[in-house]
Structure 1
Amino acid sequence: MQNLFDVDPIPTVKPTPIEYEHSSDTGNTALWIVFVIMLVASGFFALLSWNIPVNKRLYHYVTTVITITASLSYFAMASGHGVSNHCFEERDTHGKIPDTYHQVCREVYYARYIDWAITTPFLLLDLCLLAGIDGAHTIMAITADLVMILTGLFAAYGSAETAQKWGWYAIACIAYIFVVWHVALHGSNTVKAKGNTVTKLFGSLALFTFILWTAYPIVWGFADGGRKVSVDGEILAYAVLDVLAKPIFGLWLLLSHRRVPETNVDIGGWWAYGLSNEGRIRIGDEEN
């Protein structure tokens, strides 16, 4: 017969060890591969500019800066110098037993956000130059883009248990809408002055770019945001998007630029000749 004073043991919960979400050899290999792609693309874009007058190399310079920056970013991430651990507490439920918490540490590649803060304004500059968008809309588009990137970084380091993370994410999405308005919608009107060929080229490049850019926050939501995708999956998804958005975009733009004279942005003066030559008569500029 059971003693009235006997009681069942109090159920206990074994603490969950720290959970680490890190990349494996698969993710690290992908980072090195994209680094090589960006480096080769940079060399090729620079090569394309050699037989073009200096005052007509603006697209080449801007596009080369994009891939050079991306190559540095991927080198930093692949070598382990562009990443940090973001640690936070996650709730564990146990039915009738009080909830417990365990710590999760996930890798955040902050070098990627530094890359985007430099390269995406240049990508927008390429599109704005192609469409003939005025300086006011160009500056506002770049400003909205920087807000989008920085708030995305804040969201990546936000607390998963509060609305802080998703608040920053919402601000980034709103900023993206302003980018689309200033570049895609406004540019579709200004580019018409350059003729049908340039209009079609801008429309294709802009659509291609904004489809890719829409995919970035979706990947973020499943990766850094909801943690539904592993770090390796995150690396592979961003790798594909970055290759399409930078080397492929740049190749498309520069090859089209060579075939379509109407895309030229002729910038003489200081850009091509320096301040010491301002005011001088230059003979045969087109042959330089």
Structure 2
Amino acid sequence: MNAAPQLLKRAGNMALSSNPTVADIDITTHGSDWLWAVFSVMATTGLLTMVWSLKVSRGERAFHYLSAAILATASVAYFSMASDLGATPVRVEFNNYGPALVDGQRPTRSIWYARYIDWTITTPLLLLEILLVSGLPLSTVFITIFFDLVMIITGLIGSLVESTYKWGFYTMGCVAMFYVFWVIYGPGLKSASHLGDDFKKAYLYSSLVLTILWTLYPVAWGLADGGNVISPDGEMVFYGVLDLLAKPVFALFHLFSLRRCNYSSLHLKSGKFSDYEDLSANHFRSMESGKAGEAGVAGNGVNGAGVNGNTVGSDTTGANVLHPAPATQMHNVTQ
């Protein structure tokens, strides 16, 4: 009679039992359940994206692989957080949520560094998904990705700081984010318009989706890591919804929006050797034939062009002889 309840209990979410919480203010089993659900969506969408890429020409899979890499990275991060791993305790600055004091000190709150590791990898890849459609020069792409990394790293440092100085890092991150937005809607949009209406629409719509979502991340940071206003479970729901929209939903939206675009216009052809192996082999054979022909020109018994208009031939003994050019011969006759 007691076997069934015990079996159900063992089949449930045991993450917090296996990996106990590390902070005074931390997630509950409900928060872990939500994180497992997000992990499942990330992993499933990533696998579907890889299957989808198999139906696309080998040289046109760059955006599919970018999306798959984003979703794979996010899956690892959410697996870690759902397992109650990848967090460290940091004392809160404000007592807006949780106990006022624990053992006479401000309580600690879990800061999920696994999330920041995820963002350090995925946000540059998300930017690449957009910027590669814009036709911007690589120098602009590189500096934009740099400021994106500044945005994430300053957020991580600020979340680990216990004093009010954390808001200085927060401000730096917001400034870096607005620079990224300026590139997207300034030079990026102008450059994308030169590629045609299809690319301009795909670029603009994808940019709008991503940047609107990104503006909400600093809000979530201020309510969670910064201000300790919402519970860790609420934090997970807030960030989880944003990540679902900014990663699997955005990835599928972006891939569908590019279906009408001429991929070759971006000059991103990948797998060139495998796609054009036969052509390369034919070209190699042609080069070898040309070299052989040039060698034959200087060989015995073959006439051909020589230096300064002279011709190369052979005499009756088979030795190479350099004959004067016709103009030189005529000059010798007149003399």
TM range (shorter): 0.7 to 0.9
Residue of structure 2 in register with 1:230 after alignment:
231
- Distance in 1, matches of 2:205 and 2:94, equals 44
Counterparts of 1:83-98 in structure 2 under 5 Å?
A: 83-87=87-91
Residue of structure 1 in register with 2:79 after alignment:
75
Structure possessing the higher relative contact order (Cα contacts under 8 Å, 6 or more residues apart): 1
Residue of structure 1 in register with 2:31 after alignment:
27
Asked which structure has the greater CA Rg, the reply is: 2
Note if contact 1:30-1:236 (Cα within 8 Å) is conserved in structure 2: yes
Note if contact 1:58-1:265 (Cα within 8 Å) is conserved in structure 2: no
Q: 1:263 to 1:179 in 2, by over 3 A?
A: farther
**Deviation per CA, 1:212-261, whole angstroms, max 9, x where unpaired?**
00000011111111111111111000000000000011001112222333
- Superposition deviation, residue 263 in structure 1: 7.7
Residue of structure 2 in register with 1:169 after alignment:
170
- Superposition deviation, residue 184 in structure 1: 2.6
Percent sequence identity over matched residues? 35
Q: 1:282 to 1:33 in 2, by over 3 A?
A: farther
Note if contact 1:27-1:235 (Cα within 8 Å) is conserved in structure 2: yes
When the two structures are superposed, what TM-score results if normalisation uses the length of structure 1? 0.81
Counterparts of 1:193-232 in structure 2 under 5 Å?
A: 193-232=194-233
Residue of structure 2 in register with 1:144 after alignment:
147
Question: 50-59 or 206-215, which moves further after superposition?
Answer: 50-59
Residue of structure 1 in register with 2:50 after alignment:
46
Residue of structure 1 in register with 2:12 after alignment:
none
2:122 maps to 1:124: no
Question: 26-35 or 251-260, which moves further after superposition?
Answer: 251-260
Amino acid at match of 1:213: W
Counterparts of 1:248-259 in structure 2 under 5 Å?
A: 248-259=249-260
- Superposition deviation, residue 262 in structure 1: 5.2
Give the secondary-structure state (helix, strand or coil) at the position aligned to 2:194.
helix
Note if contact 1:89-1:102 (Cα within 8 Å) is conserved in structure 2: no
- Superposition deviation, residue 185 in structure 1: 1.7
Q: 1:90 to 1:249 in 2, by over 3 A?
A: closer
Amino acid at match of 1:273: F
Structure 1: stretches of 5+ with no match in the other structure: 1-18, 92-99, 284-288
**Deviation per CA, 1:27-83, whole angstroms, max 9, x where unpaired?**
111110010000001011111110212211101111110000000000011112211
**Number of equivalent positions:** 253
Residue of structure 2 in register with 1:106 after alignment:
109
Residue of structure 2 in register with 1:11 after alignment:
none
When the two structures are superposed, what TM-score results if normalisation uses the length of structure 2? 0.70
Question: 29-38 or 78-87, which moves further after superposition?
Answer: 78-87
